[in-house]
Structure 1
């Protein structure tokens, strides 16, 4: 049984699908309003994660600075 493409919305938004799954999901996305809405809701997550990573990295660097 092939898994539902609905489960791939977050992975697609994060850009972690392999090429084949990416193409399958894009075809599904063209016809699925539910996934289109969810993708719009998730569209800011990758940028938010980048900010969190930068802040965490800076925090770790600050912790390593000799006092």
Structure 2
């Protein structure tokens, strides 16, 4: 896995890196597939952060 896929999904690339990765993404089926697989990660992490279980664990 290219580490840029995860960084891209999480939105931590700077503008130059973001643009470079998007250019790479156009011609890399492996990264395209990984992007689809990881695309739900930020939403899942956000859901975990706001779940009642997460609140109980922090006390």
TM-score > 0.5 by shorter chain: yes
Higher radius of gyration, 1 or 2: 1
Q: TM-score, normalised by structure 1?
A: 0.74
CA–CA distance in structure 1, aligned partners of residues 21 and 9 of structure 2: 11
Q: Which has the higher contact order (CA 8 A, sep 6+)?
A: 2
Give 5+ residue unaligned stretches, structure 1: 1-5
- Residue 29 of structure 2 corresponds to residue 33 of structure 1: yes
How many matched pairs?
A: 55
Q: TM-score, normalised by structure 2?
A: 0.83
How large is the Cα RMSD of the aligned pairs? 1.2
1:1-67, aligned counterparts within 5 Å? 6-55=2-51, 56=54, 58-59=55-56, 60=58, 63=59
Structure 1's consecutive aligned runs of 4 or more residues displaced over 2 angstroms after TM superposition are none
CA–CA distance in structure 2, aligned partners of residues 45 and 7 of structure 1: 14
Give 5+ residue unaligned stretches, structure 2: none
